[in-house]
Structure 1
Amino acid sequence: MADTRAPSRPATAPPPPEDAEPPLPPTLRRNAPLVPTDSAASRALAAVIAILTFLAALCAGAAEIVASSAGQWQGAVAQEVTVQVRPGPGRNIDADVSRAEGIAKAAPGIAEARVFTKAESERLLEPWLGSGLDLSDLPVPRLITLKLASDATPDLKALRANLTEALPGVASLDDHALWLQRLSTMANTFVGIGVGIVALVLAATGLAVVFATRGAMAGNKEVVEVLHFVGANDDYIARAFQSRFFRLGLRGGAIGAGAALLAFALAGVLARVSRSGPAGDEIEALFGTFQVSWRGYVIIVVIGVIASLVTGVVSRITVRRFLD
């Protein structure tokens, strides 16, 4: 039996509503953003921000290492005091050292006392006088290192008075307060210099963004005028520039902060490897373990975020001033 049904009609799209706006012709469509981020100038600005963020992060990390090492030095120095016993004519230096050691051990708050031998005391002068010298005829003082107890507060003033009374003009107590003060001043100065350098680098980042924003505004002057003509306000234009430059700053800040984190990680690995070499003791004594603590890593990440925020805020302020 033949099929008598009428052929089905192809499905057609519903007609557009009467109030719908017709689409723009392809020649009038703007596919590129208002402020292009993939141009040569944008890539150069991102590179500048990355370099400046890297330098700022290096300064901040170095300042954190110095502050941490200074804290360790201060803690180690503050846990020890030194008794110096000077030889004198007609006196038995060994007897004076034994008497000073007994007075120190009897004082409350002293956990341990270590007497330096004559050879050890002479060896301490080698960095200044050189090695291989006969110091037997020189009145080299003898030293007694006292380790303070952590669970008790020693009365160093009373101990100094007892040593002076028992061995007047012979024994003296050094609590290293002068060295601690100098060490604290040095560490605070270095940290202050690091903070100042970070501030200058961020200021340089802001200036670079100012010039880049002005250049972008000059290059898109006709587009800005058209936007004003069709009713766009200054806030819309400023947000567009701020969004684009914030992305550039975020990219540059992430690259710079990531490079700084990688640099400190590699430096820590190299420090651990070189610690077994002949210069390992000197490096560890000067810089500690050369490890950035979690606080240092957080500071580096924060610097990258601040660089991005500075880029966005400065670009918005520059655009508003340009439009005004």
Structure 2
Amino acid sequence: MGMFSEALRRTQSAAAALNERREAVRDMRREKALVPASSIAGRALVTVIAIMTFLAALTSGAAILIADASSAWQSQVAREMTIQIRPTVGRDIEADAEKAAAIARKAPGVAAVRPYTKAESEALLQPWLGGNLDLSELPVPRLVVISLEPGASLNVTALGRALSEAIPGLSLDDHQHWLERLAVMAKTVVVVAALIFALVLVAMILAVAFATRGAMAGNREIIEVLHFVGAADDYISRQFQRHFFQLGLRGGAIGGGAAILAFYVASTLAAWTRATPGGDQVEAMFGSFSLGRNVYVAILAITAGIAIVTGLVSRIIVFRHLRDLS
């Protein structure tokens, strides 16, 4: 009986000690968070995440705008062809232009043909030669612009042969060379934007990793006590994940909002300078800087993705640390 009573007493003592530990864990959970809700390190991390999000959103938005502008350029250029008539001794260039336009109008798939006048052809050279230069004595080629029907397939070889036989000193340009250059440029911009985005993401992950290790070092005793008294690793890592997810969401919202504001300012400035020659060139090259739905979706996706990545990185690091303690 004495041995049984002693064993029962020891069992009750162990149960009481276990209950005390469980109560201590519950008290820690209720009274003190593992990671302080506000700290200097947390504010610094929010600033870093905001900057990274701003750069990533700005890069992605610019890539989307340039890709859309490139698509519009390619679509517009692909629907047009240009006939260039060089002045030839003994021939009337005006009559040759009208004759070339008449031949082009008969070709299947042609929607419209517009011969440029002498004044219009000279005006095209003014941005490069200046407006004060007298071009009347220069052999300025005459242009005829052919607009194709949407989806039409034009036999460029046959049309070029018919024009060359009728008019000497004539060339037909289908802008294929420029289309290839535009496609290469658009792909290059997308690749560069993807590389910049990847670098920004790596830098942000490293910053979150250092911040997580710093938070764990500052709360090392609490983490170890909770771990050894039986607190689940999932509970401890979830505290860090929740904290850093909130920091990532806050920083991402700030950075994404700053990127939207930057695009809005650029769009406003572009609208103010739209009537000027420089503004028209910028708009022709890069579009109107207006935020379409795809840009908004991209910025929101980047903001949410950065917040999720921030939480997951902290969770993984904490899990590895707790696994080393076991």
TM over 0.5: yes
CA deviation profile, 1:67-110 (whole Å, cap 9, x unmatched): 11111111221121100111222322223222211111111111
CA deviation digits over 1:289-312, x for unaligned, max 9?
Answer: 211210111000000011011101
262-271 or 44-53, which deviates more: 262-271
Whether the aligned pair in 2 keeps the contact of 1:249 and 1:308 (CA below 8 Å) is yes
What are the ranges of 5 or more consecutive residues in structure 1 without an aligned counterpart? 1-18
Letter in 2 for 1:66: I
Report which stretch shifted further, 52-61 or 94-103. Answer: 94-103
The answer as to whether partners of 1:77 and 1:180 remain within 8 angstroms in 2 is yes
Conserved 8 A contact 1:100-1:171: no
Q: Does 1:180 align with 2:179?
A: yes
Partner secondary structure for residue 218 of structure 1: helix
CA shift for structure 1 position 190: 1.2
Structure 2 gap segments, 5+ residues each: 1-15
Residue 73 of structure 1 aligns to a residue whose secondary structure is: helix
Which residue number corresponds to residue 241 of structure 2?
Answer: 242
Which residue pairs with 1:85 in the alignment?
85
Q: Is the 8 A contact 1:37 1:248 kept in 2?
A: no
Query: Are 1:322 and 2:324 an aligned pair?
Result: no
CA distance in 2: counterparts of 1:185 and 1:307, whole angstroms? 30
SS at match of 1:248: helix
CA shift, 1:130, in A, is 2.8
One-letter amino acid matched to 1:49: I
Alpha-carbon distance, 1:322 to partner: 2.7
Matching residue of 1:189: 188
TM-score calculated relative to the size of structure 1: 0.85
Letter in 2 for 1:310: V
Q: Deviations over 1:231-256 (max 9, x none)?
A: 12433322221121112112211222
Q: Aligned equivalents of 2:277 and 2:86: distance in 1?
A: 35
CA distance in 2, matches of 1:158, 1:173: 11
Q: Which runs of 4+ in 1 moved over 4 A?
A: 21-25, 276-279
Q: For residues 125 and 276 of structure 2, what CA distance do their matches in structure 1 show?
A: 25
May I ask how many residue pairs the two structures share in their alignment? 302
- Kindly indicate whether the alpha-carbon contact (under 8 Å) linking 1:53 and 1:257 is maintained by their aligned counterparts in 2: yes
Q: Distance in 1 between matches of 2:219 and 2:152?
A: 72
Q: Structure 1's 278 and 320: CA in aligned 2 closer, same or farther, altered over 3 A?
A: same
TM-score by length of 2: 0.85
Change (3 A) 1:97 1:260: same
**Quick one: which amino acid aligns to residue 270 of structure 1?**
L
Quick one: which amino acid aligns to residue 208 of structure 2?
A: V
Does the residue aligned with 2:231 lie in a helix, a strand or coil? coil
* Shift in CA distance, 291/121, structure 1 to aligned 2, threshold 3 Å: same
| CA positional deviation for 1:24 | 7.1
How many angstroms does 1:124 deviate by? 2.0
1:60 counterpart SS class: helix
- The answer for the alignment partner of 1:257 in structure 2 is 256
Q: Is the 8 A contact 1:82 1:145 kept in 2?
A: yes
- The equivalent residue for 1:13 is none
RMSD of Structure 2 on Structure 1 (CA): 2.3
1:200 aligns with 2:199: yes
Pair 274,93 (structure 1): closer, same or farther in 2 beyond 3 Å: closer
More helix by share: 2
AA of the residue aligned to 2:114:
R
Aligned CA distance change for structure 1 residues 182 and 237 (closer, same or farther; 3 Å): same
The separation in 1 between residues aligned to 2:132 and 2:268, in whole angstroms, is 37
1:304-324 CA distances to partner (integer Å, 9 max, x unpaired)?
011011101111122223332
* Partners of 2:98 and 2:277 in 1: CA distance: 37
What is the aligned partner in structure 2 of residue 125 from structure 1?
Answer: 125
Mean Cα deviation higher: 57-66 or 223-232: 223-232
Structural mapping, 1:1-324, within 5 Å: 31-150=31-150, 152-168=152-168, 170-276=169-275, 279-323=278-322, 324=324
Q: How many Å apart are 1:157 and its aligned residue?
A: 2.3
State the AA in 1 paired with 2:45. Answer: L
Paired-residue identity, %: 55
Specify the code of the residue in structure 2 equivalent to 1:88: T
Structure 1 window deviating more from structure 2 (130-139 vs 239-248): it is 130-139
Secondary structure at the aligned position of 2:153 is classed as coil
Secondary structure of the equivalent of 1:190? helix
Q: What's 2:12 paired with?
A: none
Query: How far does residue 48 in structure 1 lie from its aligned partner after superposition?
Result: 1.2
Aligned partner letter, 2:125:
L
SS in 2 for 1:81: strand
